[in-house]
């Protein structure tokens, strides 16, 4: 459904500490995304991941579901925000990182 949170990424300094912390506080179970990658999928509870802060992920990020990504990006621009470029995820859909008219970062996702 449009407007619902469909994914999040918690950007943290130490993924081992964060997975233990949120596992204890929220009961989350996590699993590595793939061998050798410091990206941990939340396998119980809300859909998301715990990942290290980086140039690509400097802060935690929330993704909102939209039915039409192109229309939503146009609306972001019309309302004074900064729409990002649409990035395809083969087999899943497309996303774009955006900034609202007050400087708040968020992402939009359209499922394929």
Q: Give dist(CA 79, CA 30) in Å, integer.
A: 37
Percent of the chain with pLDDT strictly greater than 90: 88
State the pLDDT confidence band at 32, using cuts at 50, 70 and 90: very high
1-53: CATH homologous superfamily?
2,3-Dihydroxybiphenyl 1,2-Dioxygenase, domain 1 (3.10.180.10)
State the pLDDT confidence band at 1, using cuts at 50, 70 and 90: low
- In words, the CATH class of domain 66-112 is alpha beta
- Taking the chain, what is the end-to-end CA distance rounded to the nearest angstrom? 13
The mean pLDDT value of the chain amounts to: 94
Looking at the chain, the domain(s) classified CATH 3.10.180.10 span 1-53, 66-112
Q: List pLDDT tens digits, range 46-97.
A: 899 999 999 989 999 999 999 999 999 999 999 999 999 999 999 999 999 9
Element (H, E) at 16: helix 15-26
pLDDT at 33: 92
């Amino acid at each position: 459904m449009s407007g619902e949170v469909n994914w999040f990424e918690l950007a943290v300094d130490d993924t081992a500490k964060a997975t233990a912390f949120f596992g204890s506080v929220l009961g989350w179970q996590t699993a590595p995304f793939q061998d050798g990658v410091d990206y941990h999928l939340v396998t119980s509870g809300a859909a998301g991941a715990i990942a290290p802060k980086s140039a690509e992920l400097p802060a935690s990020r929330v993704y909102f579901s939209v039915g039409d990504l192109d229309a939503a990006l146009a609306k972001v621009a019309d309302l004074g925000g900064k729409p990002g470029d649409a990035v395809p995820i083969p087999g899943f859909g497309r996303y774009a990182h955006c900034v609202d008219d007050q400087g708040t970062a968020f992402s939009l996702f359209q499922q394929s």
